[in-house]
A and B are shown apart, each in its own frame.
Chain A
Amino acid sequence: MAIDAAGLAAIRLTLELAAVTTAVLLVVGTPIAWWLARTGSRWKGVVGAVVALPLVLPPTVIGFYLLVALGPHGPVGQLTQALGLGLLPFTFAGLVVGSVFYSLPFVVQPLQNAFEAIGERPLEVAATLRAGAIDTFFSVVLPLARPGFVTATILGFAHTVGEFGVVLMIGGNIPEKTRVVSVQIYDHVEALEYAEAHWLSAGMLVFSFVVLLALYGRKKEVVR
């Protein structure tokens, strides 16, 4: 087998990170996307821009500021220490935090689009059929936005698998703790281990292609 134990550990860690990050993103991103889709607030533009920042910023910038914020002298770092959680940088939890920021737009934007496409009418209809706000969200909005959730899940997961800069900045390069596949490949190349780098890289390539094929090849769901 051309992928060694370290490589397998990196793959396992990467999948774990992507799974946890995606779960967190769906929980955090849904209310943000809902608010962005429904609000008439003047803060909508600001929040929308902040969510989209990771699309344009170099990952090193995100990683750097997260490192500062989560570090021993940063506000979040002091909070986590006060709560007895210790410091997040160079831990798996720290990686999750970084990944959540990094992949946020890939989850929020498809959800926001899906919520906007539903429009006001089904919500009003639900209200005239005795459904309150929360009831309506679960019985009408979630099912109607299902394609958006599928897209958000796939993109959030795949984008997290593909990250490098943020992970390197706040996770470092600790085997089995923070060394994900992309970092492992980087290590192989640094060490001129091109064969190992090839195997992992080709694996990433195939994985990414399959994911995107699943996304774009999905038959348009007929709704209405």
Chain B
Amino acid sequence: MSGAAPFGPGAARTGAIVGDGAAIRARFGLGWPGFRLDVDLALPGRGVIALFGHSGSGKTTLLRCLAGLERAADGYLAVRGELWQDESQRLFVPTHRRPLGYVFQEASLFAHLTVRRNLEFGLKRVPAASRRIPLDQAIALLGIEPLLARLPGRLSGGERQRVAIARALATSPRLLLMDEPLAALDVKRKQEILPYLERLHAELDIPVIYVSHAPEEVARLADHVVLLADGRALAAGPIGEVMARLDLPFAHDEDAFVVIDARVAAHDDAYALTRLEFAGLPLWVPGLGAPVASRVRARVLARDVSLALSERHDSSILNVLPARVVSLDEADPGRTLVCLDVAGTALLARITRRSAAQLGIVPGRDVYAQVKGVALLR
């Protein structure tokens, strides 16, 4: 039913087993006047992978190629050991034979079916033996129990997207594709859905490829980032690394930040503080409700990090971390952006160029990073 011919000569040969069974290999080349997508990616077969870029960068086209909604003339796609497309042998598994879930940007519920019937639409087309996510679990995960009898026309935008996500999950996909599922929603609705997406991440072992142009969404949800521009992948890697790379646009944003995945180590009830731990280092944050040993993700803005040459104990700043300068960016006449290595974790600091010169900040130098603020993302 897709725009590209869904029934290629290779359509019958589905699910050949190939290569690295854990990862996603994707190579697509296609274009039309004024646009060309040309990517060759090796992505992890787990966690949330964000496709990040401006509009027109090819994010959605890439996602549609992954789904088989577009057929790249030059295409290869293997998902966790199953071959879905290989044009060199004219193999193309049509969308409806791919065990994937797809959440579109705007409401895409079938208007003629109730919420329950929408949820069952995909479920009943999946063989019983392949069902791994019970409908009840999908309903509970997205909190849509009270909506089941309603028609899509009577739902809010946020409710519709939650139903659309549950509908995709109910097919027990081996890969979940989401095309800016929050873009059409206002801030309040976004806040309403984000926790559900995080639960998805925490409770289900399904790789999610998530298209977004909002850095805060990416920071909150993604484990792995692919940065796209003009149909090409500028960079791909774990979020902690990509966000801190000085050669990429992220680090140059006014609100540039890095994310740190940490563990709750202890609560200090006397001072209402919580001690997190990452790479063996402590990170103090305002008291959390999260239990000890749970995983959290923290965000540190580049402008909230300053540098010192000694580990001072006469300052009010709680978090002082030993770091090594990795690289500098001095393109701005007044401010220098410093990329730091803190026991293997990347950190960004934005300081004045004058300070950088006075302290002698050069690559390889050992310094102390004073972190003025840490925000918890999840």
Listed in ascending order, the chain A residues whose CB lies under 8 Å from chain B are 120-133, 135-136, 139-140, 143-144, 146, 222-224
- The answer to whether A124 and B171 touch (CB under 8 A), given A129-B121, A130-B96, A224-B153, is no
* CB of A40, distance to nearest CB on chain B (Å): 9
Q: Are A144 and B69 in contact (CB under 8 A)?
A: no
Q: Are A130 and B171 in contact (CB under 8 A)?
A: yes
CB-defined contacts of B6 to chain A, threshold 8 Å: 127, 133
Q: Are A128 and B95 in contact (CB under 8 A)?
A: yes
Q: From the candidates A127, A146, A222, name the one contacting B1 in the complex (CB within 8 A).
A: A127
* Residue B2, interface by CB 8 Å: yes
Segment among B71-79, B83-91, B104-112, B342-350 that sits at the interface with chain A: B104-112
Q: Are A122 and B94 in contact (CB under 8 A)?
A: no
CA gap between A129 and B96 in the complex, in Å: 7
A-B pairs, top 6 by smallest CB distance, nearest first, are A129-B122, A130-B125, A128-B102, A127-B95, A123-B1, A143-B112
Q: Are B104 and A125 in contact (CB under 8 A)?
A: yes
CB-defined contacts of A129 to chain B, threshold 8 Å: 96, 121-122, 125, 167-168, 171
CA gap between A124 and B70 in the complex, in Å: 10
Q: Are A121 and B108 in contact (CB under 8 A)?
A: yes
Q: Return the chain B residue nearest A130 by Cβ.
A: B125
- The answer to whether A122 and B125 touch (CB under 8 A), given A127-B2, A130-B96, is no
CB-defined contacts of A146 to chain B, threshold 8 Å: 112
Q: Are A133 and B1 in contact (CB under 8 A)?
A: yes
Q: Return the chain B residue nearest A129 by Cβ.
A: B122
CB-defined contacts of B68 to chain A, threshold 8 Å: 127
Q: Return the chain B residue nearest A134 by Cβ.
A: B1
Q: From the candidates B95, B152, B167, name the one contacting A124 in the complex (CB within 8 A).
A: B95
Listed in ascending order, the chain B residues whose CB lies under 8 Å from chain A are 1-3, 6, 67-69, 94-97, 100-102, 104, 108, 110-112, 121-122, 125-126, 152-153, 167-168, 171
* CB of A148, distance to nearest CB on chain B (Å): 13
Q: Are A128 and B111 in contact (CB under 8 A)?
A: no
Q: Are B100 and A128 in contact (CB under 8 A)?
A: yes
* CB of A146, distance to nearest CB on chain B (Å): 8
Q: Are B121 and A139 in contact (CB under 8 A)?
A: yes
Q: Are A125 and B108 in contact (CB under 8 A)?
A: yes
Q: Are A122 and B153 in contact (CB under 8 A)?
A: no
Q: Are B168 and A122 in contact (CB under 8 A)?
A: no
Main SS of the interface on chain A? helix
* CB of B112, distance to nearest CB on chain A (Å): 4
Q: Are A223 and B111 in contact (CB under 8 A)?
A: yes
CA gap between A129 and B125 in the complex, in Å: 8
Q: From the candidates A125, A130, A133, A222, name the one contacting B110 in the complex (CB within 8 A).
A: A125
CA gap between A224 and B113 in the complex, in Å: 10
Would you list 25 pairs from A and B whose C-beta atoms are within 8 A, ordered by A residue?
A121-B108, A122-B110, A123-B1, A124-B102, A125-B104, A126-B96, A126-B121, A127-B2, A127-B94, A127-B95, A128-B67, A128-B95, A128-B122, A129-B168, A130-B97, A130-B125, A132-B1, A133-B1, A135-B125, A139-B121, A143-B112, A144-B112, A146-B112, A224-B111, A224-B152
* CB of A207, distance to nearest CB on chain B (Å): 31
Q: Are B1 and A124 in contact (CB under 8 A)?
A: yes
CA gap between A140 and B3 in the complex, in Å: 17
Q: Return the chain B residue nearest A40 by Cβ.
A: B3
CA gap between A224 and B110 in the complex, in Å: 8
CA gap between A143 and B121 in the complex, in Å: 14
CB-defined contacts of A121 to chain B, threshold 8 Å: 104, 108
CB-defined contacts of A224 to chain B, threshold 8 Å: 111, 152-153
Q: Return the chain A residue nearest B103 by Cβ.
A: A128
CA gap between A126 and B168 in the complex, in Å: 11
CA gap between A223 and B67 in the complex, in Å: 28
- The answer to whether A136 and B112 touch (CB under 8 A), given A127-B6, A130-B96, is no
* Most chain B CB atoms below 10 A, which of A120, A129, A133, A223: A129
Q: Are A130 and B126 in contact (CB under 8 A)?
A: yes
CA gap between A132 and B97 in the complex, in Å: 8
* CB of B173, distance to nearest CB on chain A (Å): 9
Q: Are B111 and A124 in contact (CB under 8 A)?
A: no
Q: Return the chain B residue nearest A128 by Cβ.
A: B102
CA gap between A205 and B1 in the complex, in Å: 44
Q: Return the chain B residue nearest A127 by Cβ.
A: B95
Q: Are A128 and B153 in contact (CB under 8 A)?
A: no
CA gap between A126 and B94 in the complex, in Å: 12
CB-defined contacts of A130 to chain B, threshold 8 Å: 96-97, 122, 125-126, 171
Q: Return the chain A residue nearest B106 by Cβ.
A: A121
Q: From the candidates B3, B95, B171, name the one contacting A120 in the complex (CB within 8 A).
A: B3
CB-defined contacts of B3 to chain A, threshold 8 Å: 120
* CB of A118, distance to nearest CB on chain B (Å): 10
Q: Return the chain B residue nearest A122 by Cβ.
A: B110
- The answer to whether A122 and B96 touch (CB under 8 A), given A127-B69, A133-B6, is no
CB-defined contacts of B2 to chain A, threshold 8 Å: 123-124, 127
Q: From the candidates B96, B110, B111, name the one contacting A127 in the complex (CB within 8 A).
A: B96
- The answer to whether A122 and B108 touch (CB under 8 A), given A133-B6, A222-B153, A224-B153, is yes
Q: Return the chain A residue nearest B152 by Cβ.
A: A224
- The answer to whether A131 and B96 touch (CB under 8 A), given A124-B2, A136-B1, A222-B153, is yes
Q: Are A124 and B122 in contact (CB under 8 A)?
A: no
CA gap between A159 and B112 in the complex, in Å: 30
